Chains A and B, each alone.
Chain A
Amino acid sequence: MLESHLKIGNACWAPEGDPPALSDALTTDGARRLAGRFATAHHDGHRVTLARDPLGLNKLYVGLHPSGHVAVANYLLDLVDAGVPFSQTYAVPAGAIVTLDLRQRTTSSSRYRRLPPSGSSVRPTTAILTEVAATLAAGLRRLAAANGDTPTIVCLSGGPDSSLIAAYAARHLANVTAYTYYYSRDGAALSHDAVAAQQVASHLGIPIRLVPATADMIFAALPRALAFGQDWRDFNVHAAIVNDLLAAAIAADHPTGPRPLVLTGDLMNELLADYSPIRYSGTTYYALPDLPIGTLRHYLTRGVQTGDREVGMFHTHGLEVIQPYGWVFDHLLKLPNELPKHHVIGELAGEYLPAEIIRRPKVRAQIGDYESRNGHDGILPQLTRAGIDQPKLTGLFCRAFHIDQPADLHRAVRAGIHQPPPERW
């Protein structure tokens, strides 16, 4: 018997040829043709077949009962609520098709797609980026054709990744609005990020809606970020809080009519390993493994399959999120490891964005520009000052998912991977 809690819609398409039926995702050839995110399950007799997108953007968790009963879900919490202990939750690996034999209680798994080695392309960089630009444009044109006048929201941080997506959206889609999170404090000027986002929106000729967040709103969003962002690691929890507040504002602004499409610039930072640890108040946060850049790109991208800071968070507000960089992950991963990000964004932006936007230094929304006179100290400083540091987040996550102790959590999730279903159960 299959008990399905798959609530999150699939958002995938075929860059080459006609869009296949979703059931095609259950075959190796069909799944290989799809770009975007999907998680699907099919029950046929004593077999359950499960397939998941190549990056694992849609979560696909499985609970196995000794009786042969199988429960599948996008949200771990749905399995836990259905009585499956966290230690017995499993994830279909990204880019895999998994078949469960309910009679034999066995699992067979095949990978239809794997991450290419980082920096492995022998083609000229310009040729790769031309292909990336064409695929991004084709995907957005396809969205425009499929969704008509449905409003499109771009989550615009003011940084180059989301600015590029905003530029493509403004060119290919109608009715585009930028939404920008900012930490709001009485009497303070707008954050650097919010000002930069305003400049980008003005340059592109699209309206912008600033979404203010107060400290109270940040704390109120934390339990939701843990539960539906499905992660306890500080960086992802903080990002999930930003997304929860953005999603709440978007949903509130569109109470009737078709729900808007939400586009984001997520994933580029993983694909190019454009991250660095943050030093705040004498402590290092968002630490990274000490690896060469190419290896780091691989592990960061592989880790996307665990945690749900975007898709899971937006869905709880009835919104489906599209991450266009996910359509071209293999091309972007193959780019040379030493290629500067501003070169990538610059090539893809063409005439769409001015150089000062492309080269603007990163300021993450969840961190804020706390060192500036404005004192926009963001989520990381707010939470850590309240004692909500990494051990506390781990504890809160364990409590929410009925996990007895952190060691049990780390038995089920290691190195950014949730344990796959066992061969026999």
Chain B
Amino acid sequence: MTTAPTTFEAVADAIEHFVRQHAIVADDDHGFNREVDLFDTGYIDSLGLVTLTSHLECTFEVTLSEEDLFHEDFATIDGMARLIVARRHRSE
């Protein structure tokens, strides 16, 4: 039985936690939020994206396609959470 978060809020929380840790985002970084473009702002680079997608697939038990990497939602934490929740609902 899966223990992965399933609600949008829980998924977004988990992604934010991972990105904060991986990108070493300071607590007082007011530019960082769940709607910021992680790529344009440099929080996630190419290597970081590989690590992040691997983490998302493993944690949320979803498969992300190469097309997903370029989905407009995939640039933000909330967008990633939407994609993952939708993908999980589809597979249920």
- A422 to chain B: closest residue by CB: B70
Main secondary structure of the interface of A (DSSP, over half): loop
List, in ascending order, chain A residues with CB within 8 A of B70's CB: 414, 419-420
The answer to whether B40 touches A291 (Cβ under 8 A) is no
Min CB–CB distance B40 → chain A (angstroms): 5
Does A386 sit within 8 A of B, measured CB to CB?
no
Q: Smallest distance from the beta carbon of A152 to chain B beta carbons, Å?
A: 35
Cβ of A395 under 8 Å from chain B: no
The number of inter-chain residue pairs (CB within 8 angstroms) is 43
Instruction: List A contacts of B39 (CB < 8 A).
Output: 407, 410-411, 414
B50 and A291 within 8 A (CB): yes
Q: Within 8 Å CB of A420, what residues of B? A: 66-67, 70
In the complex, what distance in Å separates the CA atom of A320 from the CA atom of B50? 31
Q: Does A15 contact B (CB under 8 A)?
A: no
Does the CB pair A415–B67 fall under 8 Å?
Answer: no
Judge whether A289 and B54 touch: CB under 8 Å.
yes
Q: CA A51 – CA B51 in complex, angstroms?
A: 29
Indicate whether A182 reaches chain B with its CB closer than 8 angstroms. Answer: no
Q: Which 10 A-B pairs have the closest CB atoms?
A: A289-B50, A415-B49, A289-B51, A419-B70, A414-B69, A415-B50, A289-B47, A417-B66, A407-B40, A299-B50
Rounded to whole Å, the gap between the CB of B49 and the closest CB of chain A is: 4
Q: Is A355 an interface residue (CB 8 A)?
A: no
A residues contacting B by CB (< 8 A) are 93, 233, 287-291, 295, 299, 302, 407, 410-411, 413-417, 419-420
Beyond A415-B50, A417-B69, A420-B70, 11 extra complex contacts between A and B, CB < 8 Å: A287-B47, A288-B47, A289-B50, A299-B50, A407-B40, A410-B39, A411-B40, A414-B39, A414-B46, A415-B69, A419-B70
Q: Which residue of A lies closest to B37 (CB)?
A: A407
Q: Which residues of B contact A (CB under 8 A)?
A: 39-40, 45-51, 53-54, 66-67, 69-70
Task: Give the complex CA separation of A419 and B49 in angstroms.
Answer: 14
Bound together, the chains give a CA A289 to CA B69 distance in angstroms of 16
Complex: A413 Cα to B47 Cα, angstroms: 12
Bound complex: CA of A181 vs CA of B17, how far in Å? 47
Q: How far is the CA of A414 from the CA of B67 in the complex (A)?
A: 10
Cα A416 to Cα B48 in complex, Å, equals: 11
20 intermolecular pairs with C-beta atoms under 8 Å apart: A93-B66, A289-B48, A289-B51, A289-B54, A290-B51, A291-B51, A291-B54, A295-B54, A407-B39, A410-B46, A414-B39, A414-B46, A415-B46, A415-B50, A415-B69, A416-B46, A417-B66, A417-B69, A420-B66, A420-B70
Cα–Cα, bound, A93→B53 (Å): 18
Nearest A residue (CB) for B58: A295
With a cutoff of 8 Å between Cβ atoms, the chain B residues found around residue A289 in the complex are 47-48, 50-51, 54
